[in-house]
Amino acid sequence: MLALVPLVVAVVMQLSPEAAWADYKSDYSRGLEAIRAQRWSDAEQLMSAAVAGNPNEGRVRLYGMHFEPYIPYYYLGLARFQLGDCSGALQAWATSESQGFISDLPEYNDLKDHRAACQERVASVEPTPKPTTKVPQRPDVSRALEDSKAGLQAAEAAATRVGELRTQADYEPLWKANPGLSKRAEDAAGILEQARAKLQAGERSSDEAELAAAAALAQQATAAYDGLRQDLEQRHRQAALTVPPSPTPERQAARATLPPEPTRPPLPTSAAPSSPTRQARPEPTAAPLRAAQPPERLRTAATAFFDAQYDITLKTLQGATFSDERAVATSHLLRAVATYALYLAGGEQDSTLHDTALAEAKLCLRIRPGLRLDPSLFSPRIAALFTEAR
């Protein structure tokens, strides 16, 4: 394979690393099929296997250039909900919510609706006829009371940690720029308040079911607060890496991709002219760095491309010109595949998108006629586009 595709991979893979775990992707894809077919037992097993392979929710590349939200905990909870396991469903949804990714997806509204229905189910089976002769199981009630109090203390400690971050000046811009963080904090506070109410009611009536519900709610609140705190800390670390405009080694390397300044002639000296064997050699330029480090604009476009943000890829490359031949070829490759992805996403209705993608592919192949696309990065449909362009 020519060096063109490795250039794109080198641009992006260090920015958005993705482990080559084929198993969890296969389990997740098959789990989605089971969900659509309402085969809930199969869906639960497959989503559990996906979680075991990769427990981190986010956006992943399932195959070729097909990206999709990866939310196995949500679907695991849905399968358990349909199977009547509300306790397991609530636990899975709490984990999904604590990671934060699902809060920006349409499925989050479904999660909240299903969770409310699940809580109603639990509440509907909690009241049991109380015998006239009260024979409480004191050891069990005492244990449930201890568990619920410990869970509530843990949830309150998690809430305190988030509150401390909220008061720090360097975290304040994160709260303002991401309104969803405040919404998550409010949701967690609401769950914590429900846990307190359940604990108080269970303690007054020595009701083991009320205390168990309090413990479950406290655990859910803890997970929500911990997930929010981890999200905040991660955003804070990312902001610390990207905000400073000072010349970092990375920025210096990026500047090295600009056309080098003309080589200055050697300064005259008073000594006799040097012999041909002692002619001054030009100082090393940044050419090696330039070859290894693509232009910053191209890196930005490639990052958006591998994040499936094809419109941003095209906007970033609009009007861009590059002096390096490999960079020019790569820009045509990115334009071709991003445009073709938009054509496919639109149901293959816009012939203009198809023709534009084909033209960009031809321009790319004109520079790199022997190019062969890596099937692990590009889908068969995209490979067919470049075959058509040859």
Query: Can you tell me the distance from the alpha carbon of 154 to that of 152, in angstroms, rounded to the nearest whole number?
Result: 5
Cβ contact 202:214 at 8 Å: yes
Rounded Cα distance between 241 and 248, Å, is: 10
What per-residue confidence (pLDDT) applies to 3?
Answer: 46
- Contacts with 31 (C-beta within 8 Å, 6 or more apart), sequence order: 42, 43, 46, 47, 49, 50, 72, 75
Global pTM value:
0.36
pLDDT digits (tens, 9 = 90+) for 89-115: 888 898 898 888 998 899 999 999 988
Res. 153: pLDDT tops 50 = yes
CATH topology of domain 19-123: 1.25.40
Q: How far apart are CA 209 and CA 108, in angstroms?
A: 28
Q: Is the dihedral of CA 70, 76, 23, 384 positive or negative?
A: negative
Give residue-wise pLDDT tens across range 351-385.
899 999 999 999 999 888 888 877 656 677 888 89
Mean pLDDT of 155-172: 85
Give the count of beta carbons closer than 10 Å to the beta carbon of residue 12.
20
Break the chain into its structural domains and give their ranges.
19-123, 140-240, 294-389
Cβ atoms of 213 and 126 within 8 Å: the answer is yes
pLDDT of residue 202: 84
Looking at residue 18, what is its pLDDT? 39
Max distance between CA atoms of the chain, in angstroms, equals 119
Rounded Cα gap, residues 158 and 23, in angstroms: 34
Greater model confidence, 85 or 304: 85
- The pLDDT tens digits of the residues spanning 196-206 come to 888 888 888 88
Beta strands in the chain (DSSP E): 58-63, 66-70
pLDDT on residue 241: 53
How far is 43 from 35, CA to CA, in rounded Å?
Answer: 6
pLDDT in tens, 278-327: 555 554 444 443 444 678 888 888 877 776 778 888 989 988 888 888 88
Placement of tokens 């811009």 in the chain = 173
At 360, the amino acid letter reads E
What separation, in Å, do the N-terminal and C-terminal C-alpha atoms of the chain show? 16
Cβ distance 161 to 229 under 8 Å?
A: yes
- Please state, in angstroms and rounded to a whole number, the distance separating the CA atoms of residues 43 and 74: 11
Average pLDDT over residues 211-219: 84
Percent of the chain surpassing pLDDT 70? 72
- 3-state DSSP of 217-251: HHHHHHHHHHHHHHHHHHHHHHHHHHCCCCCCHHH
Residue 7's pLDDT band (cuts 50, 70, 90): low
- Reported as a single tens digit per residue, the pLDDT across 50-61 is 888 788 888 887
Structure tokens at 69: 């939200």
**What pLDDT score was predicted for residue 238?**
65
Give 315-344 as a 3 state SS string: HHHCCCCCCCHHHHHHHHHHHHHHHHHHHH
Identify whether the C-beta of residue 30 lies closer than 8 Å to the C-beta of residue 24. Answer: no
The C-alpha atoms of residue 357 and residue 335 are separated, in whole angstroms, by 7
pLDDT value, residue 272: 45
Could you identify the residue written with the tokens 């869906």?
A: 43
pLDDT of residue 68: 83
Contacts for 127-136 with beta carbons within 8 Å, 24 or more apart? 128/209, 136/206
Question: Is pLDDT above 70 for 138?
Answer: no
